[in-house]
Amino acid sequence: MIYSFDILAVIFAMATGFATSWVGLEVVRLAGWREPEEAGVSTNPVHAGAQLALAALVGPRLLLINGFSNWRSGLVSLPLYGLLTLVAAGWSMCSGVVVLQMAFASGYFLA
């Protein structure tokens, strides 16, 4: 049986993930990041790990924005954009749970 509290927790985690994605992208843009590097370009492992972590953080926003612009230009069908939206929602829910767990583990909410 699903309670209304469970639905609210899922919505809260999804909203947290989307907000984290938006804030993370704006922070790295302010720091000077513009777009991912081309494939095949040799980089050091630290830089490649940072790019991977950044992609994991801002992925839901990039999926929604790029999917919407491609749908508007006719490159993506509406059912495929709906699938992209569902993937972005699930991804943001997972990252939102991680962010909320980190916030609760920090002890900030104990006071």
d(CA 93, CA 36): 23
Judged by DSSP in three states, 3 sits in coil
Model confidence pLDDT, tens digit, residues 57-68? 888 998 899 899
Q: Which residues of the chain have pLDDT under 70?
A: 35-42, 111
Q: What residue type is 87 in one-letter code?
A: V
**Tokens 């991977």, residue?**
52
Model confidence pLDDT, tens digit, residues 69-85? 999 999 999 999 999 99
Helices (H), 1-111: 4-30, 45-72, 78-105
